[in-house]
Amino acid sequence: MKKRINNILKGKFLVDEEAFKNWRMIIFLSVLALIMIASSHRADEKVHEIARLKEKVQELRSESVDARLKLWKLKIESNVARKMEPRGVQPSATPPQKIKVKTRQE
């Protein structure tokens, strides 16, 4: 038992007669390890991309809300009247009237 462990630690299993089987297994396990590392790296990149996109969506939503609020404030009748005063445009003193059109029946 001690001799086997000593041979493994010294690497003799890589140079003896049956070393080809051992090398195939080592290469196979190395390729699997590389595939796992690459897969994990891609998954991490995707997680970071998702987090970045979520932050961007939140930022764009807040910008949208701010723009909607500014537009609402600009559309208020008193603000429109105040901005049009220097041009000489004033709100009408008389309210608008509805025009009703009657259709003729022949």
DSSP 29-60: HHHHHHHHHHHHHHHHHHHHHHHHHHHHHHHH
> CA 53 → CA 44, 45, 57, 59, 66, distances in Å?
14, 12, 6, 10, 20
- The pLDDT, as a whole number, for residue 106 is 64
- pLDDT tens profile 8-41: 787 777 777 777 777 888 899 999 999 999 999 9
Structure tokens at 99: 């025009």
78 Cβ contact partners less than 8 Å away, ≥ 6 residues apart:
none
- The pLDDT, as a whole number, for residue 56 is 97
Strand, helix or coil at 5? helix
Tell me the pTM: 0.54
